[in-house]
Structure 1
Amino acid sequence: MQGPSVLTINSGSSSIRFALFTTAQSLIRRLHGKIDRVGQHEGSWRSHQVPLANLANDSSHLAVLETWLRSYRPEDLFDEKGRLTAELRALAPDRRMGANPHANGGLLLRDLKLPDFRDYAVDVPAPGKVVSRATRVAGVFLRDVMKLNMAERNFRVFGPDETESNRLSALFEVTSRAITGELVEGDTQIAPDGRVMEVLSEHLCQSGLYRPRSEQESRHHSRLSAARCQHATFGHRPLPAQPQLHQCRRCGKGAGTTVVGHRCRGIALRYRHRCMEMGQQ
């Protein structure tokens, strides 16, 4: 059987060796006798398919799968409780973005003011007597959550342009969709301070869940970028408490546009430059 590819990582005075990957190609060849009966897997679209599809009824297929998975040598990667070994855990850098407490959902959470969910129960006196939609009821609940936390400004709703189609339009009774661009004739339920963020990219919706500094820490400097607290791991020194206001010369902005920065001389997030002109969410 073809052995797995091996990666060697030097960590201090010791070296760690573990399997990177392997394939079922040689195993399937052994099982089927010749490869053309099942098709070429390596380097083709079939590598994303199921090479062994009869595991429930064919013990030989199951044995091949076990041999394949054991070729990864999980005993070298995980301890008896299924955790990464201490040597591998030690390789994780301390300054990665996910280690920042502002990006780790769970370290800086604050309780929302929530209404009693029992008040939103739908009374059904008998089967078939009531027509209701669960998401429309949820929209009313979210509307009241938004209302209760409006003063704290710590609750937003993110979605890929589907607030109304998902029956959550009750939110627009107390807030609007957020927009930073120009309003045009026909725009409704849209405002610069809206608390509903709609954007088709679900990746952006996910990243937008991280709140800006002004909503996490204090009411001071509410117009400053969120970067100082959320991305303090960039560079070797912390950003100043009050970044210098300057005219951006090479960012493609119009004349007279004031932006927040720290003597930024290049692209945001470039090594040694401690400026990320995100603006307030």
Structure 2
Amino acid sequence: MAEAHQKNHDYHIIDPSPWPLLASIGAFVMAFGAVGYMRYVKGGEFHIFGLNLANPWIFFIGLAIIIYTMIGWWSDTIKEGRAGAHTRVVSLHLRYGMIMFIASEVMFFVAWFWAFFDASLYANEAIQASRVQALGGQWPPKGIEVLDPWHLPIYNTVILLLSGTCVTWAHHALLHNDRKGMITGLALTVALGVLFSFVQAYEYMHAPFEFANSIYGATFFMATGFHGFHVLVGTIFLLVCLIRAINGGFSPTQHFGFEAAAWYWHFVDVVWLFLFFAIYIWGGWGAPLAEG
């Protein structure tokens, strides 16, 4: 009888799990809550079945469900790996899944680059879409002062390139079973990620244009803002890896979680390089620079 239940393949049959259902419920609640939150911010109402759901609480309840699901689901995945469920075949498929996820993220940013290039390369046509401020047939639009790319943006570029170097160092140290080097490299990467976010927040607070006043501001903040969000997510991802590394959670042969975080961070680095050259340098070429 025991032989009938013995595992004779390299695949991992997952036990029944509540996480997919809970994640779906959380995403649904958060989407509904986001609509109500935006109506609340604008002073409007959001009536469903006679109830006014224009408040911020539903969104945060959904967000809490999602965060709880993420922690629980990934904790189960870590336990499966420690139990030996992540065989060579399972590990390969996990890598395929991460590659597909990053590919979807690439297409996400393609959309924002497309919007920026569509507005900048066809400035005359974009006048019809820019009801707040006419572009004047040029890009950047008339009256727009842009950020100096050789001030804070180049500073952030150096920060991200250094962080990519540090995470590569940490990965190399892990492969050579140098735990101290891995922890040091990860700690520096997390610190540089936090520094990048602070610099970008400072830049946003002192930007000479706003999101709502022109199509330049809208496309700029959407592209760079979503990148900043990905930096924040990647920093949290690496921070979790740092905590796991301190607790002895990785080995030279079993470290997919760290590898996935490193891939994601390198993706964030590459996207920033495109943003820096396309939006900060090329997109602001010839426009007056903001002082300070």
Q: Which fold has the larger relative contact order, with Cα–Cα distance below 8 Å and residues 6 or more apart in sequence?
A: 2
Task: Flag whether TM exceeds 0.5 (same fold).
Answer: no
More helix by share: 2
* TM-score for the superposition, normalised by structure 2: 0.19
Q: Which is greater in Rg?
A: 1
